[in-house]
Amino acid sequence: MTDTPFIRLDSNTCSLVLDCRGLAPSLLYWGAPLSGTTPEMLALLSTRQEAPCCAAEESPITLSPCDGSGFLGQPGLNVHRDGLNWTIYPSIESITQADAHQLTILSKDSTHNISLIHTLTLDPDSGVLSAETEIINTGDNALTVDWCAAPTLPVPAHLEQIAAFEGRWANEFQLRTLERFTGTYNRDNRCGRTSHDAFPGLIVKSSTTSEHGGEAYAFHLGWSGNHRLHTEILSDGRGYVQMGELLLPGEVILSPGQHYKSPSLYASYSNEGLSALSRQFHRFVRQQLTAHRTQGRPRPVHYNTWEAVYFDHKHDTLFTLAETAAELGVERFVLDDGWFNGRRNDRAGLGDWYVDTSIYPEGLGPLINKVESLGMEFGLWFEPEMVNPDSDLYRAHPDWVLGATPGPQILARNQLVLNLALKEVQDYLYERLDSLLSEYNIAYIKWDMNRELHQAAGATGRASVHLQTRSLYQLIERLRLAHPAVEIESCASGGGRADFGILQYTDRIWTSDSNDALDRLKIQKGFSHFFPAEVMGSHVGPEECHITGRKSALSLRAGVALFGHMGLEMNLLELAQAERETLQAAITLHKTYRDLVHSGELFRLETPAYAHSFGIVATNKAEALFSYTQTDNHISTLPARLRFAGLAADSLYRINVIWPAEPKNETPSILNRLDNALLSGESLTVHGLQMPLMNPENLLLISLHKENA
């Protein structure tokens, strides 16, 4: 037991109080900022009594509930020594508070020779909580760790809804809301990457919580491997959320003196709605995860060659594509799959990271020189973790792949997975990528991962998703140290590896392989709950999406892509002159508002089911850019008014529809009168703007500039 009964952390958006009166620390309060309320008051108000047919002393929801403590929910820690010593009892040994925003709690079980460390950091500006659990084997024999969650956090039971994320390839980040209930909501991911279908994020909220009002807690596990999301309401009415790395059997066995640290859990609270929660996470990412690498540099507009040439690389075509891209205003030219030895399709070549001289007889130099002469940077696609059986690398080193002997290998996209935990594999991949980055002026890597880990075991048969993920981080970090100026995108068949763990090593996330504009609205909305626009890869695809088959107007496709890290992915040589002019105008518009989109605050708007709308507002409220898309028909003769958000109520704004250049109207509408009108922030947010008649699948972009700002 400690002499420090309560510890308090505060941020601009919330307060957090830890109760350390018992053997183990627990969260007493986490919510709206506290003023004069004392922890002693909160503790008194939380007094619970013995209930019929229950234990005389109720087990608290500690940061790591343990078997044997009386806790009847999911333990935060499952360990044992050959089936024994599984009922551990760590008690607080010391508390270290580095400053007003970070603390470390050391607990020990001297009987079972285990030390437990909880680290909690409350970011003072964003209010995002980072929390980790670390276990140390202080005994003389091996300790098996089956589960070590990040700190378990209680969540009030009066918040009756869970908003979770699901999806599939080319349809990621789909939000699904369900009612909380007495019992468990559990979601496991065994894909070996963050996954398309079980993004490690969770929101607990009230049914009355909207984008701009009401309470909500959001949680995200920053980990790029297997994970488990667990939230429960116990039969006694208390609720909690618990997240951690899902460990396969025998993945973590600690020798004496070894330790295991959970992935970081990132969590935040707001009583101002879901958009406020998103803004808090965006602020955290910008200040804590990506600022040191990209701060002060505009995010270059991309052109990616994939949907233009696929594997058919030809000198003249690529040079002409580069010229056309530069004319449109593109700033980075990315050569996608198909440039290395034997890569004429997806059945061969992976692993042989040498420029194919049958296509590029002088190497990549002439193409890179051409790209740079046009004022663009050059980027290159890699998929380092994978190998084709039809490759020189696999023929030489079949023992370098993951497998599950004696079971047959499972192919996915004609690929096997290299065992990154092997030093020989790490060294080979580092040498190949380092060699290419040293020989050529490559400013950007698109780092892809196109399959899941179905048989994640090394030659010894031991499961190794944990080691594979850690080894991936180590490889990227090693390359970053050697080439600090190179930017890296995390791509995994789209958004299959999108999390704060990989974002500590990369600068951009490819959100989805689908460039279908209507699909992208939903995908990017889900993505926006945790990630800001500047890390969201968002491309203008061809008129007919090669995944969905849907045809969309260029004005819609460009208007959707403009709100991320913008790019193009189409055959530019097939475009008519009018289409080129439209694309050029869209890129110019993006550059005009790029600083705002990549630094402003997001406000998703409440709209009827037939519409989709959001805006980016400057932190000083001086300007804003809002997007409105009519996705379907409305039942009324005219659509509803659109109520804006985030504007300064007492300020006047010049309002203009800036995209498309000539919005279509069958009859005169408000668009004929709106041009450069002066309107108050209050009128736009309280009363709203009457929207014009539009056909489905049409978009408007509306700019607002504060008068005399």
Contact 542, 199 (CB under 8 A): no
Helix (H) or strand (E) holding 130: strand 129-137
Provide the sign of the torsion angle of the four alpha carbons 680, 682, 684, 688, taken in this order.
negative
| Ranges assigned E (strand) in 524-681 | 536-540, 565-568, 601-604, 611-617, 623-630, 641-642, 652-659, 677-680
Name the amino acid, one letter, at 209.
T
Q: How many helices and strands in the chain, by DSSP H and E?
A: 15, 38
Cβ neighbours of 588 (radius 10 Å): 12
Tokens 């000539």 belong to: 662
> CA separation (Å) from 105 to 80, 226, 420, 444, 608?
22, 27, 34, 41, 48
Cα(483)–Cα(642) distance, rounded to whole angstroms? 47
Longest dimension (CA), the chain: 83
Name the amino acid, one letter, at 599.
S
**Active site annotation includes 188:** no
Provide the sign of the torsion angle of the four alpha carbons 330, 334, 336, 340, taken in this order.
positive
Q: Name the active-site residue from 448, 507, 516, 519.
A: 448
Give the total residue count for the chain.
709
Tokens 């003023």 belong to: 35
Q: Name the active-site residue from 19, 352, 513, 516.
A: 513
CA 340 to centroid of chain Cα atoms? 30
Token duo for residue 221: 């596990």
Cβ neighbours of 625 (radius 10 Å): 24
List beta partners, residue 165. Answer: 175
Cα(360)–Cα(462) distance, rounded to whole angstroms? 42
**Active site annotation includes 513:** yes
564's CB contacts (< 8 A; 6+ apart) are 511, 524, 533, 534, 536, 537, 538, 597
Q: Is 334 exposed, middle or buried (0-12, 13-18, 19+ CB in 10 A)?
A: buried
SS (H, E, C) 268-337: EEECECHHHHHHHHHHHHHHHHCHHHHCCCCCCCEEECHHHHCCCCCHHHHHHHHHHHHHHCCCEEEECC
Cα(370)–Cα(324) distance, rounded to whole angstroms? 12
User: Which residues are known to be catalytic?
Assistant: 448, 513
